[in-house]
Amino acid sequence: MTSPALVAAPDGQAGPPRKRSRRRLTFDRVSFMLVFLGLPLAIFVMFVIWPFVQAFYYSLTDWSGFTSKMNFIGVENYQKLWNDDIFMTALKNNVILAIVVPIVTIVLSLALATMVTVGGSSNGAVRGLRNSSFYRVVSFFPYTIPAIITGILWARMYDPSSGLLNAVLTGIGLDGFTSFPWLGDSRTAMPAIMFVIIWSFVGFYMVLFVAAIKGIPSEMYDAARIDGAGRLRTAFSVTIPLIRENVQTAYIYLGILALDAFVYMQAMNPGGGPENSTLVMSQDLFTTAFSKGQFGLASAMGVTLAAMTLVFAGLVFLVNRLTGGGQQGEAR
């Protein structure tokens, strides 16, 4: 078969390949590249990459944040963090949050999304529960409240003496919760704040999963019904594999939220809780920078937090690919 790049000569012999003409750089093409590629790239470098580079440089100095003088001290700040028990406790708390909060939130969101989309009657057309729109509105409502207000409200509800939670529990006969310090006990402080974060985001990710499930052809569920699959089997064999990329995205966003969690922790336990049981790295960073005046050390904390976020996102992508997520996305 003659290559299309070869031109037939008059005597029937294939001639030399014709050189492809290069596209000329016109004013329209250059202006388009500058506006839609160069300008966004410049903004990204200026407001994202450059501040990170600055923070990394500051982390190698003893800058106090309030003077123009700074001495280069190398990795001394990182060595201090490694030997700082308070920072290591905060790091451990962040890791616990990054594991527990995304998993519980995604499981609850998936369960609710399944119920309001395909969890209805097993006869007839595939549909969700009755009045499913009401459940969507009610579950989404906590997400509409700003995080700081949510934290303050729940801090009042957890109040040992006048909080609503203890009043309800003692009202039903559980006298052991009289003046119980939910945020003042190292055993319950972190779980109590985790509950608030999960409560705040379940509705949002439920809506995200509802939109993803709506995109699954109903024939897939009809086929599962014909094969005799129950609701649980259908969820694991049809729903979750087909919205896997959405679950991955949700896990990354929730993990990044958990690695920060500054607003919730500061609103409910500004001092880090009993025995630093609720202290997170962003709180320690804030205190180190603005209370102790050690911006160089605080910058090292920020760089560590950023590195942990990148590692977390990379691990999620890696696990998703190793378990077959990448191949399924390419197949679709």
- Count other C-beta atoms under 10 Å from residue 325's C-beta: 18
Is residue 51 one of the residues assigned to a domain?
no
Question: What DSSP string runs through 86-112?
Answer: HHHHHHHHHHHHHHHHHHHHHHHHHHH
- Residue 187 counted as domain residue: yes
CB–CB of 299/288 below 8 Å? no
94-110 pLDDT per residue, tens: 999 999 999 999 999 99
Query: Quick check: 280 and 93 in contact, CB under 8 A?
Result: yes
Strand runs labelled E in the chain:
6-8, 14-17
The pLDDT assigned to 304 comes to 92
Closest among 80, 110, 128, 131 to 246, alpha carbons compared: 110
Residue-number span of the structural domain to which 153 is assigned: 84-331
Whichever domain contains 260, its CATH number is 1.10.3720.10
What count of residues does the chain have? 332
Looking at the domain assignment, is residue 24 inside a domain?
no
Return the number of other C-beta atoms located less than 10 Å from residue 68's C-beta: 5
Per-residue pLDDT of 50-85, as tens digits, reads 999 999 999 999 988 888 888 999 899 999 999 999
| Tens-binned pLDDT, residue by residue, of the chain (332 aa) | 444 444 455 555 555 555 555 667 777 777 777 778 888 888 999 998 999 999 999 999 998 888 888 899 989 999 999 999 999 999 999 999 999 999 999 999 998 888 888 765 655 555 666 767 777 778 888 888 899 999 999 999 999 988 899 999 998 888 888 889 999 988 999 999 999 999 999 989 998 998 898 888 888 887 887 777 777 788 888 888 888 889 988 999 999 988 888 999 999 998 888 889 999 999 999 999 998 889 999 999 999 999 999 999 888 888 888 877 655 545 54
Residue 90 lies in a domain: yes
How far is it, in rounded angstroms, from Cα 182 to Cα 165? Answer: 9
Does residue 148 sit in helix, strand or coil? helix
With pLDDT > 90 as the criterion, what percentage of the chain qualifies? 39
Into how many domains does the chain fold? Answer: 1
Query: Is there a domain that residue 54 lies in?
Result: no
